[in-house]
Structures are given as C-alpha cells and as structure tokens.
Amino acid sequence: MKKHIIVALVLISTAFSGCLVLSLFPIYTKDTLVKLDALEGTWMQRDSSLWTFAFADTSNPDNLKMYELIVNETYQARKGLDTNIIIPDSLLAEFATSKFEAGITLINGIYFLDLLADKSASLSGFHTQHFINGHSISKITLKDDTLWISSLDDDWAKRLKPKERKKYGLLETRKNWILTLQTKPLRDFLAKVAKDTNVFPEPNTYLIKVKN
C-alpha cells in the first residue's frame, strides 16, 4: 500500500502540471475585498473537478469577506492511474483535494480572484502549482450559473524582455513566474492590463454551478 500511495502522489502532482504566474503579495487589502454571494456553493469544471466556495471563519472580523475554496480532483486522478493500481477512493480523495484562501476584489469594474494555497492541505495537482505559497491571479466573470476564469498568462511573462520583467518585478523559477510588486503597485498594474488579451487571454476555464 505504501508503494501505491507514493505512485498516487507522483501521478497527482504531475498529471495536471503547468506554469503559473504567482504573486508574493495579495491583490487586495482588507478594505478592497468584496463579497459575491452568487459565488458561494459548488461548481463543476468540464473535466469533473469540483470547486466549492464557502465563506471563511465569520467569527474573525478580518475574514468577513474571505472565502475558503476546496478543489477536488479525484476524478482526474483516478483517470491518470494505471488500472492495475488499486487505491481506495477515500485515500485517493485525500491526496486529490486541496484548500485555498480565496479573496475577491474589484479593479476598474472587473472582478479578480486571488488564491493562496493552504500549506496544511494535500498534494493535488492544482495545489502543487502553488507550492511557492504565492497568490495566483485570475479575472472572473459570473453569468447566470457559469463562472468564467481567465488566469494571468505565463506566455505573456515569457515574451517580456529582461528590462520589462525588471519593471514588473517578475522573476523566473524552475516551476513558475513570480511577481514581486507589492499590493498597491500590483493593483495599478492589473488596472492597466485587465483588458489586454496578451496578459489575460479569453477565459480558458469555466465552471457550471451544481444545483442543490
């Protein structure tokens, strides 16, 4: 069983690999957080991963507008396993579920989602992309029961010249790109590029809300 667990971890951490542009600082302050009541609930991605947004600990005044996001990738993990490897669903779910702090903020009339991985959470593929413990940045649009997500594009970062990367405080690591701008200049940057499809392409992820 120990061998099976190790194999599962390797598969889960690599099956959904990709490159993110992460920020060392959040894109929001306590005063710029907003609540989107329609966001609360469970959403299904087309590949059957489940995203569940719930309000964070409301007993803490600083958390009144923060969300907790649980991402369950058990379905994709199961698809990626060799059929000869037998792992109980409960065990697989443990390693394919990840938790994030989620903050929503409004910049120039556009909603942005900031995700920060919970370091105590497990090793799902989406979670391992956040291992630097940086904030991922996405534009979001809610329309009816569909959530559209457009993430900051790593191809944009790759195309920048060294001088431009320095301007944005952009560093390259083995796995991801890291923005080092603090919150205020970071928000100013996002205000300038929010509608630039070279920076935020057309939504590349959408989720459908699961009816209760």
For the stretch 115-141, pLDDT in tens is 998 866 544 445 455 456 789 999 999
pLDDT at 50: 84
pLDDT at 133: 72
Amino acid at 155: D
pLDDT at 113: 97
Q: Where are the beta strands (DSSP E) in 9-134?
A: 21-23, 41-45, 50-55, 66-72, 97-107, 110-117
Best-predicted range by mean pLDDT (1-15, 39-53, 63-77, 127-141): 39-53
* SS3 of residue 130 by DSSP: coil
**Nearest residue to 21 via CA among 133, 151, 192:** 151
Q: Mean per-residue pLDDT for 22-34?
A: 95
Domain boundaries, the chain: 2-209
**Nearest residue to 164 via CA among 182, 179, 150:** 179
